Amino acid sequence: MNIFTGFSTEDELEYYFLNRQFQDNVTVVAGLVFENLNDHMYTLPSHVHYKIRQNATLNPETNIIRPPFWYPSPGSNNLLYYDFGFVWIQDLVERAIIEIQVGKPVTSPGTFLHRMPYLCWLWDA
């Protein structure tokens, strides 16, 4: 169950994403890059800066424009951004940071997702 790999730099992480993961026969869901931490720190700063580098193949495409025959609707149920780890990873990292800074476990419920409200919708085809 060794599913975590550490890298010294963000460039090494990117190199692995782009060149090695296929050869190692693994699927990388995401990488974390902590921007204001170093090896000589014994406590966390009051504000931790980090990036979640998500695997682009597990996210919805962002280069699609609205189709020519578009009509108003509540949108698709294709929530890859949420289903494939981004929100889950962000929740885990934020909980860990809070636990370390306050010295107590975070026991409240995890992330709750509720889509934007939309009028009652029936597909009338």
What are the boundaries of each domain within the chain? 10-102
Q: What is the per-residue pLDDT for 30? A: 87
Could you tell me the pTM of the whole model?
A: 0.72
- Residue 13 · residue 29 · CB < 8 Å: no
Per DSSP, what are the bridge partners of residue 52? 32
Share of the chain above pLDDT 90, in %: 26
Per DSSP, what are the bridge partners of residue 51? 33
Can you tell me the distance from the alpha carbon of 54 to that of 83, in angstroms, rounded to the nearest whole number?
12
Q: What is the per-residue pLDDT for 55? A: 80
Taking alpha carbons only, the member of 105, 97, 93 closest to residue 4 is 93
Q: What is the per-residue pLDDT for 27? A: 80
Exposure class string for 36-61: b at 16+ Cβ within 10 A, else e? eeeeeeeeeeeebeeeeebbeebeee
Q: What is the per-residue pLDDT for 49? A: 95
Q: What is the per-residue pLDDT for 97? A: 93
Q: What is the per-residue pLDDT for 107? A: 84
For the chain, give the number of residues: 125
Q: Which residues of the chain have pLDDT under 50?
A: none
Backbone φ and ψ of 50, nearest 5°: -145, 160
Taking alpha carbons only, the member of 28, 32, 26 closest to residue 6 is 32
